[in-house]
Chain A
Amino acid sequence: MHLIQRMKIWKELRRLEQRVREQPSPSTFVDLGQVYINLDLHDKAQRIAEDGLALFPKSPELRQLADCARRGLRQKRLTELRAKLLRSPTAELYQEIARLQVEAGDSAGLHETCQEWSQLFPADAGCWVVLGQARLVNFYRDLSAAEGQEAVACLQRAVEMDPQAGSARRLLGEVLYRIGAVRASLAQLEELQRCDPADAEVAALLEHVRTLGDRGSDLETLLDEVEAHGSLQHPSLATAQPAHADAAMARVREGLGLVAKLPGVRKATFIRGSKALVKGAIRDGRDPFLRVVRVVAKAAHRFSRRLDIGSANKTVVDGPFGHICICVFGEALAAAQCDVDADVTEVLAELQELVAGALHVATEGGA
Chain B
Amino acid sequence: MSRIREAVAQVRRLPSVRGAVVLTNDGLVAAAELDAEQNSEVIAGLASYLLMTTNRSLGEGSLGRCAQLTVHATNGKAVFVDVGDSFLVVLFDQFAEIGPAQMGIEAAAAVIRSASHMA
Contact = CB atoms under 8 A, between A and B. Distances in A.
A338 B39 CA distance: 35
Given A319-B65, A320-B63, A303 B72 contact: no
Contacts of B47: 303
B71 A315 contact: yes
Contacts of A309: 73-78, 94
A54 B54 CA distance: 11
Chain B binding surface, main DSSP class: mixed
Given A288-B61, A310-B73, A299 B66 contact: no
B72 A315 contact: yes
Interface in A91-120: none
Nearest to B25: A21
Interface residues of A, number: 34
Contact of A300 (B64, B71, B74, B76): B71
B46 A55 contact: no
Contacts of B76: 304, 307, 309-310
A84 to B, nearest CB: 31
Contacts of A330: none
Interface stretch (A139-147, A188-196, A274-282, A290-298): A290-298
A312 B14 CA distance: 23
A18 B78 contact: no
Nearest to B62: A288
Given A18-B26, A315-B71, 19 more contacts: A21-B26, A21-B52, A288-B60, A288-B61, A288-B63, A291-B61, A292-B54, A295-B57, A296-B54, A302-B50, A303-B50, A310-B76, A314-B70, A315-B69, A316-B69, A317-B68, A319-B68, A320-B65, A321-B64
